[in-house]
Amino acid sequence: MNFFERLRGERPSAQTAKDRLQLVLVHDRADLPPGKLEALKDDLIAALSRHIEIDVRKVNISLTQDRHQQRLVADIPLAPSRARRRGAG
């Protein structure tokens, strides 16, 4: 991928296909039926929201795999605190 493709966010179709296949394989090996990851995401959001403010729109939960193990990766941005939103810091 060249500099301009990266800058514009374009990806070669072969790379996109490879990434999609990897995602399918990870889900298959993790034995997660369709919708289970989304249900897990909803449960995590509900549990965390009881304790801290999070930016629900930007939550990203994914499965990854390297040679030896599978991982559940959660990227959960915290919402700005009320004090910071008011300008007190």
Is 43 within the bounds of a domain? yes
**What's the chain's Rg over C-alpha atoms?**
18
Q: Is the pLDDT of residue 4 over 60?
A: no
32-49: pLDDT as tens digits: 776 887 888 889 889 999
Is 85 within the bounds of a domain? no
Identify the H or E element spanning 73: strand 70-75
Is 89 within the bounds of a domain? no
Instruction: Name which of 31, 40, 33 is nearest 73 in CA terms.
Output: 40
Range of the domain at 12: 3-80
In terms of Cβ atoms closer than 10 Å to its own Cβ (0-12, 13-18, 19+), residue 74 is middle
| 40, 61 contact by CB (below 8 A) | yes
Instruction: Give the count of domains, the chain.
Output: 1
Output the pTM of the full model: 0.54
